[in-house]
Amino acid sequence: MNSSRLRSILAGGLLAAGLALSGCASTDSGTATVEAGAVQRGEHVDADTFRASLSDDVTILDVRTPQEFAEGHIAGAVNIDVSSPDFAQQVSELDPEGTYAVYCRSGNRSRTAMAVMQDAGLSDVFGLEGGIGALDPEDLVTD
């Protein structure tokens, strides 16, 4: 799937997510939801909110291994392996003013990655609750 098709799907998801989630706040599970379309930064969000929050201004970070990334990832995602010894160094080179959507396989590694990112001064980050498995297979591309 090319990036313009993904953006079209995401735009439709934004409308649906906004309608479905208007007036919601964070859940007890630690998964944030949206109010008036705004992502709760520093939190993990459901797949619909994650998709709806992607735009040209958001850098998508896949923090899985390069092998996992090659098996399927979100189009346009940048792969920075959180288990790599130089992960913190790679994160420190990212734009501190940027917005980052972070995901892994299940949501655990993305939580670790987000903590390192926030420690490095990247405050505008959010993660995908449930990881890549929460997405539809057609949301993914392979190398």
Catalytic residue among 21, 80, 91, 104: 104
Q: Is the pLDDT at 16 greater than 50, yes or no? A: no
User: Tens digits of per-residue pLDDT, 58-108?
Assistant: 999 999 999 999 999 999 999 999 999 999 999 999 999 999 999 999 999
- Judge contact between 104 and 113, C-beta under 8 A: yes
Query: What pLDDT does residue 57 have?
Result: 93
Active site residue 24: no
Residues in the chain: 143
Name the residue range of residue 84's domain. 3-141
Integer CA distances (angstroms), 88 to 5, 22, 23, 24, 122, in order: 33, 36, 36, 34, 12
Six-digit token string for 6: 């993904």
CATH code for position 50:
3.40.250.10
User: Number of structural domains, the chain?
Assistant: 1
Cross-strand partners of 59:
100
